[in-house]
Structure 1
Amino acid sequence: MPTTETVSIDKGIDIWHNFGTQYFLERREIGIFNIGGEGTITVDGTVYELGYKDCLYITMGAKEVLFASKDSEKPAKFYMVSAPAHCSYETRLIKIEDAAKRPLGAMETSNKRTINQFIHPDVLKTCQLSMGMTVLEPGSVWNTMPSHTHERRMEIYMYFEVPEDNVVFHMMGEGKETRHIVMQNEQAVISPSWSIHSGAGTSNYTFIWAMGGENQAFDDMDVIPTTELR
């Protein structure tokens, strides 16, 4: 979260020790969401302006990535996920209004929500990274039901817009032996490929999902009937 200074993507990171490369994105791609005030990301001299809930995909090979806030009193908050990559595509800014919208669920089942697809095959090409944002409407608390797994991809959920004094109960593990983690605002959880990833909140909320793995086929999943969960 940059405030009064510009922050480089590799600040405080030993790139060679962690990645075995000369710079962060030499063999990686990255998706970055802004969940704070207005900010900028400069990629090899090109400046991208990100408002609240905007997303920037940066392709493999970008050497210099710099983060800054427009107002230090209302700083940007950049949340990012990166993954190994094998080729370069196009660095691209996706505004929240330009994301592919997919309404799902209903008020009767407490899961009326909109899936916003940002880094997705229907929007732009990437090597393996996919990212999006799911927004639950007031009165809805469940996400990702029926539960499922996808053996060829792992997934990360980052919950935000969780109201003060509220939490999300995130469920994971094998369908026959689930466990839960209590998530608070702006916390993330990693689900391996064999694990379900569902949640129920004490209020509505929003979460950013990120996936990486063998494919980007979103229908490649194994659904677990809700009555079979244990």
Structure 2
Amino acid sequence: MEIRHTTNPADFKTFTTERMRNDFLIENLFQEERISMVYTHYDRMVIGGAVPVKETLELEAAETLKTEYFLERREVGFLNIGGDAVITADGESFELGRLDALYVGKGNKKVTIASKDSSNPARVYFCSALAHAEIPSRKISIKEANPNHLGSLETSNERILNQYIHADGIQSCQLMMGVTQLKTGSVWNTMPAHIHDRRMEAYLYFDLKEDARVFHMMGEPSETRHLVVSNEQGVISPSWSIHSGAGTSNYSFIWAMAGENYTFKDMDMVPMNELK
């Protein structure tokens, strides 16, 4: 498991492109027959990807966590962006089609990930946060997610924000998770920008063609920078940072949040004339 430490926003102003990419960009999450994970000290979130082909992969407690098993003090949200997946939590199996999600709560000792068809393997993204209570596992399909239609084609940000794990959907201790899908002709997400000082956020950009890119904006509103992001790459977004982006075409992204507040209303909007 790779470890990423936190950054003081005052220090962030001096970062080179290479330093930004090393600290905040997550590459190569999806590797065949393995689970890849990044542990960030921002709200102790674990961000991971799994591509089981013929093997069944187990979510294990790496030495990093210092626990007997992965979900001893954690919860996890899975979201499949590939072929059909089969995830088992302490003997209970769940089939996830593309863009289906699964919440697995604290206390589940054995969690495995497999593909239903090795010729069309699953590509399972997951985010895990600390948990204080045991909540039952639950699957939710893309059809059952709560859709929010946002933006417009005129402002190049027409999109659907699908909520999966949140206060009015799948319950959790602190993890929130969903998928935003941009319509054809739209490229901007989360603009006008905002910050939420009591929650960090992680993005996974996907549904991008090989030669397409997203320019992910981050930093304090008065000191913004950007990361150039390719398909199926992730970004760690600190609580002090804006998190928006513009693509060379439309795209989708998975967002996941963890922290002190468990509400979407915890947003401090940034007026456009304050961005620099």
TM-score (norm 2): 0.81
Q: What letter is aligned with 1:6?
A: T
1:50 counterpart = 2:100: no
1:95 counterpart = 2:141: yes
Equivalent-residue separation in structure 1 for 2:273 and 2:183 (angstroms): 25
Equivalent-residue separation in structure 1 for 2:220 and 2:94 (angstroms): 41
Aligned to 1:20: 66
Would the aligned equivalents of 2:103 and 2:165 in 1 still touch at CA under 8 Å? yes
Aligned to 2:44: none
Q: What letter is aligned with 1:179?
A: R
Equivalent-residue separation in structure 1 for 2:213 and 2:71 (angstroms): 34
The DSSP-based 3-state class of the residue aligned with 2:243 is strand
Q: What letter is aligned with 2:64?
A: N
The DSSP-based 3-state class of the residue aligned with 2:71 is coil
Aligned to 2:166: 120
Aligned to 2:151: 105
1:164 counterpart = 2:176: no
The DSSP-based 3-state class of the residue aligned with 1:227 is helix
Aligned to 2:118: 72
Aligned to 1:6: 56
1:218 is matched with which residue: 264, 269, 272? 264
Query: Per-residue displacement from partner, 1:201-222 (whole Å, max 9, x unpaired)?
Result: 0000000000000011111111
The DSSP-based 3-state class of the residue aligned with 2:143 is helix
TM-score (norm 1): 0.97
Equivalent-residue separation in structure 2 for 1:197 and 1:209 (angstroms): 10
Would the aligned equivalents of 2:103 and 2:170 in 1 still touch at CA under 8 Å? no
1:35 counterpart = 2:85: no
Equivalent-residue separation in structure 1 for 2:198 and 2:152 (angstroms): 29
The DSSP-based 3-state class of the residue aligned with 1:25 is helix
The DSSP-based 3-state class of the residue aligned with 1:98 is coil
Equivalent-residue separation in structure 2 for 1:58 and 1:24 (angstroms): 11
Would the aligned equivalents of 2:188 and 2:245 in 1 still touch at CA under 8 Å? yes
* Identity across matched positions, percent: 58
Q: Which runs of 5+ in 1 are unaligned?
A: none
Aligned to 2:189: 143
Q: Which runs of 5+ in 2 are unaligned?
A: 1-50
CA-CA distance at 1:124 after TM superposition: 2.3
1:200 counterpart = 2:246: yes
Equivalent-residue separation in structure 2 for 1:119 and 1:8 (angstroms): 22
Q: What letter is aligned with 1:54?
A: D
Q: What letter is aligned with 2:219?
A: G
The DSSP-based 3-state class of the residue aligned with 1:103 is strand
Equivalent-residue separation in structure 2 for 1:136 and 1:216 (angstroms): 25
Would the aligned equivalents of 2:156 and 2:187 in 1 still touch at CA under 8 Å? yes
Equivalent-residue separation in structure 1 for 2:131 and 2:98 (angstroms): 27
